[in-house]
Structure 1
Amino acid sequence: MATYKKRGYKPGTKEEQNTAVEDHSTTAEVFNTLDEGANKTEEWVARNQKYIFIIIGVAAVVILGYLGYEEFIQEPKEAEAANEMYMAQQYFDNALDAQGAQSDSLYNMALTGGQGKFGFEDIIENYGSTKAGNLARYYAGMAYLSTNQYQKAIEHLDDFKSDDEILAPLAKGGIGDAFLQLDQPEEALSYYEEAATMRDNNFTAPKFLLKAAMTAISLGDGEAAEEYLTRIEKEYPESAEANKVAAYMGQAQAMQQ
């Protein structure tokens, strides 16, 4: 156990003197060991400094390269892609208000371009890594869905990645719509279920719960349909879909008798 000694204290007995010598010797050994360790570290650094500088240099290049890429390449590319999106979006919006062949023509122009401007497919190909390129996948998927090109709709909507409150479930539900048109109701139902639970809002959740209920009825699963419809009644009573629950609830319950 260490004992505190006052300042100026001198060992008196022979035993105390021997202890003092041992303490001094031990301390000296510790410092010698530290000096030796420091010398070895310095020698190692001296021998390997070339490699150390290379590693530091590579790290600096990576960091500076990333910052430069973001500032001088990615940001201008984002702005350029967003600018290219304008005309394609105009064609898409106009197609929503049009009818029949005119609507199909506008969707195709939105997809392939017109008046010397890119369509969604061009934007995906040239700016796929940008936010606009990702959004173009959503628009393209919906345009293909509206023009009965269901497999392409599924591919583009599946590639679309988003955390958006509305677009994310709409894309997922759009895949369900495409599968339903391809006469694959089981797959459609699974996508409607997923779309209904992705976000808890008064627009997409009841929309896809109702589609799930209708699909379940078509599959002869009245019990599942009743569960979806009951959720609309209880959780989204103010939604537009709540007004349609009664009509489908009768069918769902009749199937269980």
Structure 2
Amino acid sequence: MQTIKKKGFSPSKKSEPQLMTMANKALDLVSLHQKNLTRAAVVLAAVVVIAAGYTLLQSSNDKKASAMLAAAQGFYQEQAAGAAPDYARALEGYRDVFKKYPRTTSGAIAQFYIGNCLVQLNQPAEALREYEALAKKKFVDKGLAGLAYQRMGYVYSALGKQTEAITSFEQAEAVLGPGLATVELAKLYERSGNGAEAQKKQKVIAEKLGGTTFAPAVQGAAASGAAAPPAPGPAGK
């Protein structure tokens, strides 16, 4: 029977050069990754610096916009001496804020008041465009968007456009929850002959608004058909 002899291991003369080659390749690979990591670190640092700079810029813009907004508010509100508000000058001021700082909180509030001024200056179509543009912005505060829809409801109602008014008040209620929009919806549904929907809103008023400070007033307005007070501006202005 043939015997299978076990061969002993004999290092090849090329083993050492091959190992050196592999080691060099590994070092090159590490070096390459180090370069890439260094680049990534530099890019990350640049992004951090840019982000910090953007934050500081936004903070500076917010302060400037806030000061300009306060100046415009001075014309919008009744003057200390009893003089009537100057809506034309207020409109000019709000537009200046919105033009220069549209993506700030003050810029968004300014756009809301642009709509308010246009209503006071008997330009409802322009006002509706401003309110709608504000309400549909992705970055705008949810509460401010709801107020914009609510104001649209009042403007449409004043124009005799009940269908559009109902749509706007429904959007406002969806964003803000039960409130003035609910009261207006109860009245509008009643006027349009939709008693079922009117009763639903009256039920919401009774259940959700019973403990609020303005509940008696709004319930009385809904029952009598009288106009409820207009939607307040941001921060109660």
Identify whether the pair has TM-score above 0.5, normalized to the shorter chain.
Answer: yes
Given candidates 149, 152, 159, the residue that maps to 1:175 is 152
Q: Does 1:206 align with 2:179?
A: yes
Structure with the larger RCO, 1 or 2 (CA within 8 Å, 6+ apart): 2
Residue 4 of structure 2 aligns with which residue? none
Alpha-carbon distance between aligned partners in 2 of 1:41 and 1:228, rounded to the nearest angstrom: 74
Whole-angstrom distance in 2 between the partners of 1:138 and 1:66: 29
Which aligned segments of 4 or more residues in structure 1 are displaced greater than 6 angstroms? Answer: none
Give the Cα–Cα distance (whole angstroms) in 2 for the partners of residues 41 and 152 of structure 1: 69
Question: How far does residue 147 in structure 1 lie from its aligned partner after superposition?
Answer: 2.5
Query: Quick check: 1:163 aligned with 2:138?
Result: no
Q: TM-score, normalised by structure 2?
A: 0.70
Structure 2: 5+ residue runs without aligned partners? Answer: 1-21, 135-139, 226-237
User: Are the structure 2 counterparts of residues 226 and 49 from structure 1 closer, same or farther at C-alpha, using a change threshold of 3 Å?
Assistant: same
Q: Does 1:153 align with 2:127?
A: yes
- 3-state SS of the aligned residue for 2:142? coil
Mapped partners of 1:44, 1:93: distance in 2: 70
**1:215 is matched with which residue?**
188
- Report the alpha carbon displacement of residue 98 of structure 1 after superposing the two structures with TM: 7.8
- Rate the CA distance shift 1:66–1:218 in 2: closer, same or farther, 3 A: same
**Contact kept in structure 1, 2:112 and 2:130, CA below 8 Å:** yes
Aligned to 2:94: 120
Q: Which letter maps to 2:45?
A: A
Check 1:44–1:219 CA distance in 2 against 1; reply closer, same or farther (3 A cut): farther
1:53 counterpart = 2:38: yes
> Number of paired residues?
198
Q: Tell me what 2:90 maps to.
A: 110
Choose the corresponding residue for 2:200, options 213, 216, 227: 227
Structure 1 gaps of 5+ residues are 1-35, 113-118, 249-257
Larger helix proportion of the pair: 1
- Partners of 1:145 and 1:233 in 2: CA distance: 32
The percentage of aligned residue pairs carrying the same residue is 24
The answer to whether the 8 Å contact 1:195/1:208 transfers is yes
Is the 8 Å Cα contact of residues 150 and 181 (structure 1) preserved in structure 2? no
Structure-1 separation of matches of 2:100 and 2:165: 31
Larger-Rg structure: 1
Contact residue 184 and residue 222 of structure 2 kept, 8 A: no
Contact persistence 1:89–1:110 (CA under 8 A): yes
The C-alpha deviation readout for 1:31-90, integer Å capped at 9, x for no partner, is xxxxx6x9755422423554443332222111111102212x222221111111122011
Q: Find the aligned partners of 1:98 and 1:177 in 2 and give their Cα distance.
A: 27
Amino acid at match of 1:120: Y
Is structure 2 residue 59 aligned with structure 1 residue 75?
Answer: yes
Q: 1:149 to 1:58 in 2, by over 3 A?
A: same
Given that residues 173 and 208 in structure 1 are in contact (C-alpha distance below 8 angstroms), is that contact kept between their aligned partners in structure 2? yes
